[in-house]
Amino acid sequence: MSTHEPAIAIVGPGTVGSAIARRLVAAGFKKVSFGVRSGSKIAEALAELDGKVTASLAPEAAAAADIVFLAVPGGVAVQAAHGLGDLRGKIVVDCNNPLTWSQGPVWAPPPEGSITAALQAALPGARVLKAFNTFGAEFHADPKLGDTVVDVPIAGDDAEAKATLSALIQRAGFHPIDAGPLRNAAALENMAVLWIHLALVGGQGREVAFKLLRRG
C-alpha cells in the first residue's frame, strides 16, 4: 500500500457500518465518509461519530472514495451497488451475508454463488473483495480480546486490492488473512451463518469470533 491516505466510503451507516467507521476513526484514518440514501439521513450519520466523519449521498461518497465498504442488508446489496455509479478501479469491500431464517440462520446465496460474486458480475472493473462479514459489530468496533486480535479473512481475485485492504485491516488493529480467490467468498458467508448460529441460537453470545491458531 502506498503512503497515500485512502479515502473510504461506508455505504450503509447501520450497526456494522457505524462500527467499522468508529474503528477506522480510532485508528487514525482521516478520510472516512458515510454514504446514505437520502439527505435526511446525513445528520443522523454524522451524529454517530460526533462529526469525526463526513456524510453525503451514497453515489457522491462512493465517487470520492478509493475504498467503498458495502454494509447493507444482503438482499439489497447488488441493488445498492448499482445505485453508486461507476465503481471501476475502486476497491469494493463486501461485508454482507445472504441469509434467511428458519429456526436459525440459513445461507441463501444468489445464483452467482455468493453476494461477492454477484457484485463482481454487476460491477465490471470494480475490485470486489469479501471481508468483515464473519463476526458481529462488537468486534468491528473493538478487534481485541485481551491480547488476542480478531482475524479478518479476505477473499477475492485481485492481489493488489487484497494487499491494500490487508494494510488497512492491520492499521485498524485487526489481523488480515488471505482466504483465497473470490469463489471462497461462499465459504466466508457460511462462516457467518455458523457465527450467527453460535451467537444467537447456540447461546455463545455476540462477544465471540473465529481465530486461526498456528503452532510454531
Mean pLDDT of 174-197: 98
Q: What is the model's pLDDT at position 1?
A: 42
CATH of the domain spanning 8-201, picked from 3.40.50.720, 3.40.47.10, 3.30.70.1560, 3.40.1190.20: 3.40.50.720
No. of helices (H) and no. of strands (E), the chain: 8, 12
The Cα angle at residue 183 between residues 181 and 189, in degrees rounded to 5? 110
Domain ranges of the chain: 8-201
Per the model's pLDDT, the better-predicted residue between 165 and 15 turns out to be: 165
pLDDT of 120 > 70? The answer is yes
- Report the alpha-carbon distance of residue 95 to residue 10 in Å, rounded: 10
| pLDDT grade for 187, boundaries at 50, 70 and 90 | very high
Q: What is the model's pLDDT at position 87?
A: 98
pLDDT digits (tens, 9 = 90+) for 49-106: 777 899 899 999 999 999 999 999 999 999 999 999 999 999 999 999 999 999 999 9
Task: Report residue 164 as a C-alpha cell.
Answer: 491494500
Q: Are 67 and 89 in contact (CB under 8 A)?
A: no
| pLDDT grade for 3, boundaries at 50, 70 and 90 | low
The strand pair at 32-36 and 8-11 is best described as: parallel
Please report which helix (H) or strand (E) contains residue 59, including its range.
helix 58-63
Task: Report residue 150 as a C-alpha cell.
Answer: 480478531
Per the model's pLDDT, the better-predicted residue between 161 and 41 turns out to be: 161
Q: Is 94 helix (H, G, I), strand (E, B) or coil?
A: strand
Spatial neighbors of 3 by CB under 8 A, at least 6 apart, are none
Average pLDDT, the chain: 94
Per the model's pLDDT, the better-predicted residue between 179 and 18 turns out to be: 179
Q: What is the model's pLDDT at position 46?
A: 73
Using a pLDDT cut of 70, give the percent of the chain over it: 96
Strand order in the sheet with 67-70: 54-57, 32-36, 8-11, 67-70, 91-94, 127-130
Q: What is the model's pLDDT at position 43?
A: 73
Q: What is the model's pLDDT at position 14?
A: 87
Q: What is the model's pLDDT at position 63?
A: 98
pLDDT of 167 > 80? The answer is yes
Task: Report residue 88 as a C-alpha cell.
Answer: 471501476
